């Protein structure tokens, strides 16, 4: 089974913090095998309790936690987009959520930078219309 957006988010944040599966399991009080299954995409839709434990154990920022929760709730989100956004701190959660709703068509690989740029322009235009 291919890695899900949630799984790739979890793995990225765990590795960014230099934690092994067993270390994260100990910190979160969640079985390491279950964490592995979440990361690999073998398990989906973790409970709110599991999500909360992982957020605390990984000491996520609000932005990271929001992206993490979004990926848990939207299992069709592009995993590559999530990783791209996590690496680029300049991308707000609002821009990420709007970009994540985009549907890619065709066989070409999506250009996340162009997508983020387009979403920012659209949101800027909407915000100018509100003022």
More confidently predicted of 127 and 116: 116
Q: Give pLDDT tens digits for 14-34.
A: 999 999 999 999 999 999 999
More confidently predicted of 102 and 6: 6
Q: Give pLDDT tens digits for 80-95.
A: 999 999 999 999 999 9
Q: Give pLDDT tens digits for 108-117.
A: 778 899 999 9
More confidently predicted of 76 and 62: 62
Mean pLDDT of 55-68: 98
CA-wise closest residue to 43 among 74, 100, 11, 1? 1
Q: Which two tokens stand for residue 101?
A: 């709703």
Contact present, 16 and 57 (Cβ < 8 Å): no
In the chain, domain spans:
5-130
Contact present, 21 and 61 (Cβ < 8 Å): no
Contact present, 91 and 85 (Cβ < 8 Å): yes
Fold for the domain defined by 5-130: 434 Repressor (Amino-terminal Domain) (1.10.260)
> For the chain, what's the residue count?
131
């Amino acid at each position: 089974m291919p890695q899900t957006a949630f799984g790739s988010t979890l793995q990225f944040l765990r590795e960014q913090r230099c934690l092994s599966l067993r270390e994260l399991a100990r910190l979160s009080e969640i079985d390491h095998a279950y964490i592995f299954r979440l990361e690999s995409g073998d398990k989906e839709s973790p409970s709110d309790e599991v999500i909360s434990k992982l957020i605390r154990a990984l000491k996520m920022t609000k932005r990271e936690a929001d992206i993490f929760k979004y990926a848990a709730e939207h299992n069709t989100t592009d995993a590559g987009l999530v990783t791209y956004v996590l690496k680029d701190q300049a991308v707000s959660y609002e821009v990420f959520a709007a970009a994540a709703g985009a549907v890619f068509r065709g066989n070409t690989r999506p250009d996340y930078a162009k997508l983020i740029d387009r979403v920012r322009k659209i949101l800027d235009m909407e915000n100018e219309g509100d003022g």
